[in-house]
Amino acid sequence: MLERVLGRPVRPRGAFRYIDLGSGFGVTSSLVAALYPGSEVVQLDLNPAHAAGMRKFNTAAGVDNAQVLERDLASLKTGELGEFDYIVCQGLLSWIGDEVREAVLSFIADSLKPHGVAYFSYLTPRMDVKLIAFRETLYRSFCSASGPSVVRLEAALEECWQMLHDRRWPGLSRHDAFEMLSHFTTRSPNYILHEFLNDHWSPISPDWLQRRLKTKGFGSLWRHEAGGAESGYCVELFVRGKLDELSRRQAKKYTHLLECEPGKRLVLHTFPQEPALLATASREGVVYLAEGFDPAESTAHLERYNRAIIDSKLSDERSFRPLAIHGCGQGLRLTPVQQEVLRALATDRGSSEPLDNRLRRRGLSAVESRRVASSSVPFVGSPEFSALAFLSERIPLGIG
């Protein structure tokens, strides 16, 4: 996010302390710990299943610089955990009660170092009214069901499909209700339970957040509110201190960028020097690759981290955890199909066997056409394959 503020990609220099409040399964914070083994990462979540999941993954991935705390945010005492360079509140403020929200803001005010950065993502009142109407109906059905959360969710979705069939969905046209119900039926139960069925679900005003943090000595550094289907989702950076201190954390010069927007193929570009192209690159779905990459540099810790993902038998692990890229301080989320192509490239590096033959042996094909989603054979187009071939030298897997 900081490259949007400073006009160029940046990465931390030296050791730093990073805390992920309400970290869930630690998707981002475990990656940070793997990419920066000299850093100290704290992953804090109240949910026992989340804490256990983080500990299990960190152990398998060899992430030993991350501390998992199963704690209530409201129980944190001033100075208890020390000061941090980065404090992350990803998907937190809009899903907790007022008392806990105030405790979080007080913790940040007490714990962020001078010139540190606080990251927030939250819901605003500008959410699509159709999405709000959908959520209200699904939430009522969920609350009226009984049993464990996942069972109640299944019952609520079944009841909503019946309401759609009976043409009695309140506040939405049948078409809109069908579109949203079809979309959310494909999402993971954990996502729906957290994102829409949390009892404390409450959009908050960006102006309110700015006023509250201003009283604690913070200024808003950058804010982005999504539009379209994602309208109402806001990402914001707050800083305590001067911007020029952050700019001193600039990384090596970057030579390539990779477009990797969700649902689209990977496309590799030489890093643009023109200001207009750089502005285009500074958006979601871009990974920056630095020059000075040394293939001989030790990558054992990244190999173990990436293998914990790519060898996982759990499809969720392979779908939502980003792989660590050597030499750029970033990660990249690849689909299971893309991961298999990467595995094939790493395994057969230096092989004289034709590429198509190598991929076919693994049930994959490199073709000029776009991926055909309905086919029984997963297709990977040439531009996408070229990007994966480039990445095969930079995503350590420890195989081949």
pLDDT single digits (tens) 320-330: 788 998 877 78
**pLDDT at residue 275, as a whole number:** 57
Whether 62 has a pLDDT exceeding 80, the answer reads: yes
pLDDT at 330: 83
Burial level of 147, CB count in 10 A (0-12/13-18/19+)?
exposed
Amino acid at 123: L
Q: What is the DSSP string of 20-73?
A: EET-TT-HHHHHHHHH-TTSEEEEE-S-HHHHHHHHHHHHHHT--SEEEE---G
339: how many CB neighbours lie within 10 A of its CB?
A: 22
By percentage, how much of the chain surpasses pLDDT 70? 76
Euclidean distance between CA atoms 65 and 263, whole angstroms: 33
Q: What is the pLDDT of residue 83?
A: 96
CA–CA distance, 250 with 243 (Å, rounded to integer):
12
Of 271, 246, 267, nearest to 258 by C-alpha is 267
Task: Please report the pLDDT score of residue 190 as a whole number.
Answer: 79
Report the 3 state secondary structure along 96-135. CCHHHHHHHHHHHHHHEEEEEEEEEEEECCCCCHHHHHHH
Range 94-99 average pLDDT:
92
Rounded mean pLDDT of 210-214? 91
Task: Note the pLDDT of residue 70.
Answer: 96
CATH class of 2-125+203-247: alpha beta
Least confident of 161-170, 184-193, 270-279: 270-279
Indicate the SS3 state at residue 166. coil
Q: Is the pLDDT of residue 136 over 70?
A: yes
Residue 371's pLDDT band, with cuts at 50, 70 and 90, is: very low
Give the chain's mean pLDDT: 81
Phi, psi values for residue 204, rounded to 5°: -125, 155
User: What mean pLDDT do residues 45-49 have?
Assistant: 92
| Banded pLDDT at 282 (limits 50, 70, 90) | low
- The percentage of the chain sitting over the pLDDT mark of 90, rounded to a whole number, equals 38
> pLDDT band for position 340 (50/70/90)?
confident
Full-model pTM: 0.84
User: Is the predicted pLDDT of residue 363 greater than 60, yes or no?
Assistant: yes
pLDDT at residue 84, as a whole number: 95
Q: Is the pLDDT of residue 107 over 50?
A: yes
Higher per-residue pLDDT: 366 or 267: 267
**What's the pLDDT at 55?**
96
Look at residue 48 and tell me whether its pLDDT is greater than 80.
Answer: yes
pLDDT average, residue stretch 306-326: 79
**C-alpha torsion angle, residues 124, 125, 130, 132 (rounded to 10):** 80
The structural domains of the chain, with segments of one domain joined by +, span 2-125+203-247, 129-195, 254-391
> Residue 342 has what pLDDT?
85
Residue 94 in this model has a pLDDT that exceeds 90: yes
Q: Bridge-partner residues for 381, per DSSP?
A: 367
- Say which residue, 39 or 230, is predicted with more confidence: 39
pLDDT band at 369 (very low <50, low <70, confident <90, very high): very low
pLDDT for position 375: 40
Q: What is the mean pLDDT of residues 211-218?
A: 89
Residues 6+ apart with CB under 8 A from 337: 364, 378, 380
